[in-house]
Structure 1
Amino acid sequence: MCGICFICCFSEDEIDGLVSSNQTLLSRRGPDCIDKRDIKIDELRLTFQGSVLWLQGDEPSPQPFEDSHGNLLLWNGDILAGYEISKEISDTKYISEALASKDEDEMILFFSKIKGPWSFVYFRKEEKRLYFGRDMFGRHSLLWQKPQEDCPVFMVSSVSHRKESVQEVPALGIYFLDLDSKRVLSDFCVSLIPWSHKVLKGLGDLESFIRVEQRTIVSPVVNPLNTTVADDTTTDFLRSLPCSLGKADTEHLYSSMKIEIDNLLNVLCYSVQRRVDKCPQRCKNCTRSMECNHSKIAVLFSGGVDSAMIALILDTCVDVGESIDLLNVAFAQKHSANGNEKNTKANTKIKDSKLETRHDTPLDYDVPDRITGRECWRQLQGIRPNRKWNFVEINVTSEELAEERASHISHLVAPLMSVLDDSIGCALWFGGRGQGFIAGNPYTSPARVLLCGMGADEQLGGYARHRVRFNDGGWAALLEEIDLEISRIPTRNLGRDNRILADHGRAPRFPYLDEDVVSFLNTLPIWMKANLDMPRGLGEKLILRVAASRLGLTIAAGLPKRAIQFGSRIAKLENSKEKGSDSCTRLLSNS
């Protein structure tokens, strides 16, 4: 994971101010190597700034990376498949060398074959042209500040302090901008080479400064969504299936879609293995000369079926002597002795190198995700007893939440600002930090990579709104909703999640959003992904639940969907009358 930033303006003072403002946010994403390069083109001043989290190659590659032609690359991404890259060199160096000899069409073709998350900024010196963009799912953050009359500055950056002029770069394709005159700031317009699967019916507010090219960049997801609707014969068969995950019923359900379940497990194993392989064989705390059997990979872990399956598959992908961290976050619920909520102040002290917390009344961290996480952890221990599973209990008080939101988290959530963005963003930030307790002893995860379950619900009908649509309009309505969910993944929240989780110097990776996983799931008929004639906790994400149950994850397999803001109980700490779509005054006031 890296922090990348490009700034273009007329004034050195303006550039220095923006560089200084974003320095801390960028460096937290990439603590292993930080560098900067300044260029002048006529009256324009350009700054390229990069911070690197070492994940590929024998050693970190400083950024911006300059080739022999003077071209500059800022790369925040992972080439997980599509190209064979020697383990000795970083993907940054590989991309820079590959692009140096390519014309523009060849460069676009090169990006279309990358499997893995990415965002980038690339400057071609001879043409004085700047390219930038995000992968088709928008898995890595990229923000921009467009020039305005009172502020003639153009910026593209992974992160930025909250301000109205900064917005997310739409994950529509690859953009380019000519930098050969100062018109770039006074008459700002960028060109867009869109993804081939995008239907750009209208860009709304973006139409005034985005010019769409006729050519496209081909999507690495090769299969379109299967839109077959169940006929009467299929519907009768589906209604004859058992509606439980007992042992005999699980075998019955498995036999009805054995080939599809086996293929799903295979493609998920490849997805997780790719994300494990692109990681140094040392944790964040160990040096090159040290042997390391600490956790290099962690899982954001609620005990639900999405994270439980990732953890179980991960066990097959890492050495048996290496521990795996399961990061489980809970927000304190304050109770008086008779069980009623009561506002009390927590006082923390350090004693004998152990963190002790004293309260006027007890704090309860046994929130739903803690309970199910602990139960699923114990089941993992039984299924795979040779693995050291570190169940990390991350406990957050309301005081710590308010402090970190005010000083830091609000800028990472930006430019989003809803109540939902706040609660999810804060829960992810503390979970991704990995600072908690194992069996009562303080522990901070040293993992460089964090595996997360995002993307499963959108593709497999995991949300309550999917059941509502199915009840109202049957299979056709459900398919329409799933298609909409997948199409808006790039515009929803992955940029936010990336800014939040990467802030701890870890690389968040999403196995369910691997291009090959998405392509495979697109081939399945909708009733294998979600049979919503079945009860809650079984019908949604059906194929994943049956696979999990058959592999022994019987607790996780039967748990209904529970969003992190409710499972971690952060939502109970705030104003219960708020709606998720409301603007969050806590974020705005803190900024």
Structure 2
Amino acid sequence: MCGICFVCGLSSSLCQIEEQASLTHNLLHHRGPDSCGDMTFSITDELSATFHGCVLWLQGSVLTPQPIIDKEGNVLLWNGDILAGYEIPGEKSDTKYISEYLTGKDEEEIMCFLSAIKGPWSLIYYQKCTKRLYFGRDVFGRHSLVWRWPTEQSWMFLVSSVTQRSAEVTEVPALGLYYVDFSHSKMDVNFHVSLIPWTHVDESNLAALPSTIHTQRQKLVSPIRNRLNISLPTDEVLETLRALPTSLENDHIDMLYNALKDDIDRLLEVLKTSIQRRVDMCPQKCQRCTNTQDKCSHSRIAVLFSGGLDSAMIALLLDSCLPSSESVDLLNVAFEQRTPQRPEKKKSQLNCATNGIVPSKDYDVPDRLSGRRCWQQLMEIRPGRCWNFVEIDVTGEELARQRESTISHLVAPLNSVLDDSIGCALWFGGRGEGTLEGSPYVSPARVLLCGMGADEQLGGYSRHRGRFSAGSWPALLEEIDMEISRIHTRNLGRDNRILADHGRAPRFPYLDEDVVSMLNSVPIWRKANLNMPRGVGEKILLRTACAHLGLTTAAGLPKRAIQFGSRIAKLENSKEKGSDTCSRLVGN
């Protein structure tokens, strides 16, 4: 994980350009604490630019500082992981590999290279001979990029992983590869950006773009092999579905597994491979041991762990991807719940202001309780592993303090109540600072595995049930197709900015290209059967797989969003709607 930033503007305003880059430095440094570098030079007689890169070491035998400049003067800022698609020598980082590979390549060759990458990425690449700046995000937008366009008040253009909150900053849509041709484009009212879109992007989405983004005829080939299977169940299939058991009780698990066996086995294979890829792409040292010669015996890998279905399955499959000697941190976040308690004191000692009732902090929220139950079952069925259940307790005071100083900048440019709740819960969970068996503990993990993407693909949200009730299978398919196509704007840029702030690499196994392709190929009724009860029918494929492998506690849990499971929503104004603009974010 890295923090990358490009700022350009009029050469006469060089101090302003460097000042803008410095304002972003701290946020970038949190993402990449192991190395920071920058370079400034003139692009044209009128324009100067600064490239800034902060690196979290995850690949290669030694760290590769950024920005990296090749023999032709091309400059690369890379924030990504090539998990598959190219064979990179073990001693070489993907940053160095990409820089060498792209040297001397034309635009078509750059496009082909990016299309073949499997793994999350964002990049900024300046090609000196053409004076073109290329930038973009992977097909799902798993890594953040935001931009700030030139205005009459400030003739500067910024592209960055993250920057300070500002009304002028918006997310770079993950629609393809963008470029600015500085041999023709000037920093004035006619400034524009060109876009080479992904092949899967609908024309309606491209037509909705502002006129300052010029869509090109070329297409960037999507690495997702299969489009969503839109077939509908026949009467014969529906009759078969009605004959299936509608619970995950012990005697029913085998029946459901046998009915879904082929697809469950395929899912488990690609999901395990996805997790293995994300574990292999991590040095054999945790955060604490980066600069030591000692053998590391701490947790390198953590899981954002609610005890729910998605995170439980990741933890379970992770066990077969790591040596048994390695511990795994299960990060479980809870926000304080103030419950009234009447203390056993003399009447004269009672708190008059509260009529003798004083608040007591309680962290036994739903995610804490389900997390403990799942952790206990995990230890029973995988006893050879040290599973560290890290209890992360957050007070209202610390929540307010960190939101104002840090989290509001990371959530931005999003600003809804829902963004605030999810963003804050993820930030504290990802920080990994809590207690382990009653003692203070901070997770040293370099990689954080998260369950994002499962609900969107497998019909896990309550709105999926709503659409199914209103329009049956066609409506459900339409909703899932929309969920996947918009995930970069709703979730992933925000989640990446939030989780990477702690110098860990957040990785999303359910959004591996091969996992998505596999799930796209499966008929909808084998992924979600919403005629079944809640806690069974949604994500039926994953639930049955989880129960079949022995994690029955998580398999039967209904979907519970992190803002409700962690109870952060209870700390705020209960009358707010998730879509409302959050005054706690924009008011700071």
* Pairing partner for 1:311 from 304, 311, 315: 315
Structure 2: which amino acid aligns with 1:486? I
Q: Is the 8 A contact 2:9 2:187 kept in 1?
A: no
Corresponding residue number in structure 2 for 1:350: none
* Pairing partner for 1:417 from 410, 415, 418: 415
Normalised by the length of structure 1, the TM-score is: 0.95
Q: Is the 8 A contact 1:152 1:186 kept in 2?
A: no
Q: Is the 8 A contact 1:31 1:52 kept in 2?
A: yes
How far apart are 1:360 and its partner, in Å? 5.8
Corresponding residue number in structure 1 for 2:497: 499
Corresponding residue number in structure 2 for 1:292: 296
Distance in 1 of aligned mates of 2:469 and 2:359:
45
* Pairing partner for 1:426 from 415, 424, 427: 424
Pairing of 1:60-209 with structure 2 (within 5 A): 60-180=63-183, 183-201=186-204, 203=206, 206-209=209-212
Pairing of 1:220-369 with structure 2 (within 5 A): 220-286=223-289, 287-337=291-341, 361-369=359-367
Pairing of 1:576-591 with structure 2 (within 5 A): 576-590=574-588
* Pairing partner for 1:513 from 486, 507, 511: 511
Distance in 1 of aligned mates of 2:310 and 2:293:
36
Determine if the alignment matches structure 1 residue 404 to structure 2 residue 410. no
Distance in 1 of aligned mates of 2:396 and 2:222:
44
Determine if the alignment matches structure 1 residue 38 to structure 2 residue 48. no
Distance in 1 of aligned mates of 2:453 and 2:257:
23
How far apart are 1:477 and its partner, in Å? 1.1
Query: CA-to-partner distance for each residue in 1:304-333, whole Å, 9 max, x for gaps?
Result: 010000000001101110100000000000
Structure 1: which amino acid aligns with 2:534? R
Extract structure 1 runs of 4+ deviating beyond 3 A. 202-206
Query: CA-to-partner distance for each residue in 1:475-523, whole Å, 9 max, x for gaps?
Result: 1111111111111112211000000000000000000000000000001
Structure 1: which amino acid aligns with 2:484? I
Corresponding residue number in structure 2 for 1:566: 564
Structure 2: which amino acid aligns with 1:188? F
Distance in 2 of aligned mates of 1:293 and 1:274:
21
RMSD of aligned C-alpha atoms? Answer: 1.3
Corresponding residue number in structure 2 for 1:466: 464
How far apart are 1:151 and its partner, in Å? 1.0
How far apart are 1:249 and its partner, in Å? 0.5
Corresponding residue number in structure 2 for 1:380: 378
How far apart are 1:399 and its partner, in Å? 0.2
Unmatched tracts of structure 2, length 5 or more: 344-350, 352-356
How far apart are 1:101 and its partner, in Å? 2.7
Structure 1: which amino acid aligns with 2:445? A
Identity %: 63
Bigger CA drift: 475-484 or 2-11? 475-484
Count how many residue pairs are aligned between Structure 1 and Structure 2. 572
Corresponding residue number in structure 1 for 2:19: 17
How far apart are 1:397 and its partner, in Å? 0.2
Structure 2: which amino acid aligns with 1:7? V
How far apart are 1:148 and its partner, in Å? 0.8
Query: CA-to-partner distance for each residue in 1:374-423, whole Å, 9 max, x for gaps?
Result: 00000000010010000000000000000000111000000000000000
Q: Is the 8 A contact 1:178 1:184 kept in 2?
A: no
Distance in 1 of aligned mates of 2:200 and 2:185:
34
Distance in 2 of aligned mates of 1:157 and 1:579:
30
Distance in 1 of aligned mates of 2:481 and 2:50:
40
Distance in 2 of aligned mates of 1:208 and 1:501:
33
Query: CA-to-partner distance for each residue in 1:190-235, whole Å, 9 max, x for gaps?
Result: 1100000111225467332111111100000000111111111110
Distance in 2 of aligned mates of 1:200 and 1:445:
45
Bigger CA drift: 297-306 or 474-483? 474-483
Q: Is the 8 A contact 1:9 1:185 kept in 2?
A: no
Query: CA-to-partner distance for each residue in 1:15-57, whole Å, 9 max, x for gaps?
Result: 1221221110000000000000001121211000000000000
Distance in 2 of aligned mates of 1:121 and 1:542:
40
Distance in 2 of aligned mates of 1:201 and 1:232:
34
Unmatched tracts of structure 1, length 5 or more: 345-358
SS in 2 for 1:70: coil
Structure 1: which amino acid aligns with 2:27? L
Query: CA-to-partner distance for each residue in 1:276-330, whole Å, 9 max, x for gaps?
Result: 0000000000134111121101000000010000000001101110100000000
Corresponding residue number in structure 2 for 1:353: none
